[in-house]
Amino acid sequence: MAVRQYDKIPIVETARRCGLVLDSRTLRRTEVEASCPFCGDHGVGKHHLSLNTDTDQYRCNLCGAHGNSVSLYARIKGLSNKEAYLELAREAKVYPMPQTPPPQTQERQPVPLERRHAAYSDMLEHLTLLDRHGENLLERGLSEERIRANGYKSMPETERGRRLLADLLRSYGHELSGLSGFRTYYGEWTLSGPSGFLIPVRNKDGLIQGLKIRLDEVDAPNRKYRWLSSRGLPNGTRSYSWVHVTGDRSRKCAFLTEGPLKGDVASFLDHDALFLCFAGVTAIAGLKDALQSMENLEEVVVALDMDKLVNWRVRNALGKILETVQSIPNLRVRLMNWNMTFKGVDDFYKARNEAASKGVNILDMTSNFITMRLESLWKQEYPEQDRGFIHTCEWEELTVPIDQLTAGKPADMKKAQYYLKLLWAGKVDFPPLVSVNGVVIDGLHRFWAYQQMGYQTVTVYQNKPWAMPTAA
């Protein structure tokens, strides 16, 4: 019986045709990085989708989406695999497979944790922290002692230094094959990665699982950090999105936030509070296991950046994080909020401590009737949510042009349509919308109905511009 001759559909060309954003720096590699259209973490500077040019397969390092060229095109275009194949074929994007395909190289997996920890510990021991990187860490609120204890070090700046480091680790008996970040270059082992400083990512026992790099040169606002990885490079090894554990591991309460450095800083500024930190809001594959490994844990506080109020991607990710935590029996969960002047929990803790040193408590701002009304309304509607940020803002009631506000799509269109019917019937005695920095965070369904009715102005509770308080 004749063996069926399959066709080759190049994965990179397919991705381009689907409108995905490719990382130009990886186009000559076996593993080309691209934006992921499935997990909500995509766009300029977001390159979590790996495209293997040998196998024409794709896989997202965050959400786990995977498949081949045909299934990628089919899923994005809303077609069946057969329809996708025929459409690709018509566009001359299909090439005959060679009779004897070249041998495929399997993706190298990281070595066991103990070996990684030993190698990375020796590696960090022989690196230094450049002055500019030390100053960056001090500005975040860390002490020099904590900087040394956490083990931050700068990436070697020269290729010669990186090769010498690789040779040194090998002389200590460390096998670099299977160690993320190391690869061969013209037959010699070297360290691969952009310039910046290294952040150890540890498990509950303090063992180094992997390393993240805080980049010196940021090519996009949301692309400041990268895993130390040599994926797709000769004899290179991928890195996983490990969950970082920092602070007092014996605590009964753990805070969840995005980014290991942010967690390190926040923990230090909050008396060694326990923080579990994922690499990104969609990179939570190991979160459940990490939480279950904490023996004394009774409560989890989700402390994501405050753009969760205005960024729909973060809001969607927040829902999945809450589902993950709530799936663990006997574990309480609540949300933590603060004034939006400070994006991250580390920023907020730093401002809180600085204000406290001046005799000012930024959590005890003067309340007015709007503050009390919002507290009452949200206590009923969002009982699980910490409402602290309400009290750190001064609110005002205004009537504003509707085109000065922005809002995401209503989650429940039936509810939005219901409000539209009420407006048509003449019912207009609804509470004001709630707006933070011009973005509607409460009243999305009513806002949609107002737009459909052609309203020119709406009444809102909105935050006044806020600045760090001075000494009392």
Distance separating alpha carbons of residues 211 and 127, to the nearest angstrom? 14
What is the pLDDT at residue 310?
A: 67
Q: What is the pLDDT of residue 97?
A: 46
**C-alpha span between 124 and 207 (Å, rounded):** 13
> SS3 of 32, please?
strand
Q: In this structure, are strands 153-154 and 31-34 parallel, antiparallel, or unpaired?
A: unpaired
SS3 of 466, please? coil
Domains of the chain (ranges; CATH) run: 7-96 (3.90.580.10), 113-227 (3.90.980.10), 244-357 (3.40.1360.10), 369-463 (3.90.1530.10)
pLDDT of residue 124: 97
Question: In this structure, what token pair is assigned to residue 379?
Answer: 């206590």
Angstrom distance (rounded) from CA 377 to CA 461: 13
**Contact criterion met (CB below 8 Å) for 8 and 97:** yes
Give dist(CA 287, CA 275) in Å, integer: 12
Joined together, the tokens standing for residue 184 give 């061969």
Query: Got the DSSP string for 138-201?
Result: HHTT--HHHHHHHT-EEPPSSHHHHHHHHHHHHHTT---TT-TTEEEETTEEEE---SEEEEEE
**How big, in percent rounded to 5, are the helix, strand and coil portions of the chain?**
35, 20, 45
**Which one, of 220, 165, 192, lies nearest residue 29 by Cα?**
192
In a structure prediction context, what are the per-residue pLDDT tens digits for the chain, which is 472 residues long?
343 334 678 888 888 888 888 887 787 778 888 888 887 555 555 677 888 888 888 988 777 788 888 888 888 888 888 888 888 777 645 554 444 444 444 567 899 999 999 999 999 999 999 999 999 999 999 999 999 999 999 999 899 999 999 999 999 999 999 999 999 988 899 999 999 999 999 999 999 999 999 999 876 656 789 999 998 899 999 999 999 999 999 999 999 999 999 999 999 999 999 999 998 888 888 999 999 999 899 999 999 988 777 677 787 888 889 899 999 999 999 888 777 778 899 998 998 888 888 777 776 555 567 777 888 887 777 776 666 667 767 788 889 999 999 888 888 899 999 999 999 988 888 889 988 878 888 888 999 999 999 999 999 988 776 555 444 3
Its pTM surpasses 0.95: no
How far is C-alpha 192 from the geometric centre of its chain's CA atoms? 23
User: What local confidence, expressed as pLDDT, does residue 471 receive?
Assistant: 41
pLDDT at 65: 83
